Structure 1
């Protein structure tokens, strides 16, 4: 069960599990320059309170997609694979947002070895070794980073420092995936396109030549002796120089963000006279993870949100917390101390300050002993250590 909280808890674990002395030389863990090697999961403090819904890892760079559609990045950028309209020879060790993706509404991201691609309005992304692919909610694909083997799909081998639309596909995309130096795109009607290096036959074209632009790949399967075209029950997954296509139940992962409280779960908790161990664990996890709280009350919006925009529904948060904390077994399951302690430690580098707006809506923090033991301490840390950008956002 706890796996369901894994992505939302990326604010609580390093982007990569690093078992190689070279793997953090470019900053792809998002832990800053002071951490040369991280052999066990470590808290990514700058993403505390950020409702991360997807993470993609390339060769030495990383992207994180959030519920409002913002994309954060860190790591190697010598080929422009972070989409920042610049190159960084030593990499970016601190997490930053990707301004060029804000207006796209990213829905999916993908990273290659040194290139990236996006699907807009950005809802998902995927990383190869040095490139990134981004899938938007409108079914478009954008790529950026290293293009030496055509993995960006722009009919050229040049690098791209900014996200660029992939053209030449006669339909909208539903899935994307990046290998080391190649990219796959699956269309809504079952079409498959591939581009990039084909030296290992990874493009599925029957030859080992590469393609600089999207090339249609014929997909057939046997069904009662007849060949039938593969349709939208298919999923694609890509390895370094290999691909996998498989059937799966058609369920949109984006409909149920991991770690987010939904109406069904809320009603289930409220209907219990005595909570079971699973419900108690769920509640404890939610109240100890700031990203989960922010995700639970993030407003739905089809319009891409600008950086610094406040996206949480405080009225809804207050109503839900009042309902929950009026039930004795739920109140007993809540321990907010770890959350406050993490916020105090991380105030100087936090990217998203919405959690500081949500906390006052939790009635537990209004009790005298909590005001003295937690609220006052947190207030001091906010006033003395919260970074200028976050403070400016809160003051709006």
Structure 2
């Protein structure tokens, strides 16, 4: 398959990267992890809204750009590279395919609506305290619930910036008819939304891995031991090379999965990489999604481990901004299915069983 990003897709990613470099530095990410007003916990969101980031996947009739996931995948990778706080994937990637209300889509495209979701096997909703609307899967149905109508309980997590919350609906006594307020039912399937979220998070993991690799290489060039930069030591060079190889293998799988999700969607994406191609079978798109998330999770986890090894003990401390990216890797690696889950799904798709086979 011939696969190459267009100039427009590359330009979109470059613009997002420039905005994040100017408005979401490491200091802003660090501040977002503290108890602060919502505005301080969402650096660069107003600027991203101005360039149409949150309307990338929103149809053009609703003031969006009408792009496909493959068109936007590099932009999501840049949000991972910058460790952008907030429900980014849930708002910009998942919500456009779930919300059918014209007004909601317009508000989403303009950056005036933040959305968090709890889909599939996810137990908690990420950054739900920053969301205006929650989309929750309950008994196989998707429901859109105003954030103020549910009870959010903070849960312990590895990433103080990407906070997790359990969602509880109102008590039956508080609602007419003796039933809790469940919000508005969405007549859409959660399958496409879950695939989109998984691939977008995989792209963020690739971006995180790239940042950690770049940071580790720069540190290895400047840190000296025994009269030489530690980057000149074979053991360090091999570790960094392994990370580079893992990232280079994971990224194409993520891009291919984004294209597969577009083709499997109910509507064809407008423009973008090979968007006029044929549709794909259900098993093939799920296989592509799992391959992308497994490879991206492994690459980012390896990048985090090597970054700690290269930096040494100081890498664990709060003195370095490195910990912000490490925590985001560990958080997103388990989001929408960890590597073990997706490896199991791949085994089931290829071998017909999710069980590991041990050969004598």
TM tier relative to shorter chain: under 0.3
Higher-strand-fraction structure? 1
The structure with the larger Rg is 1
Higher-helix-fraction structure? 2
Output the TM-score relative to the length of structure 1: 0.24
| RCO higher in structure (CA 8 A, sep ≥6) | 2
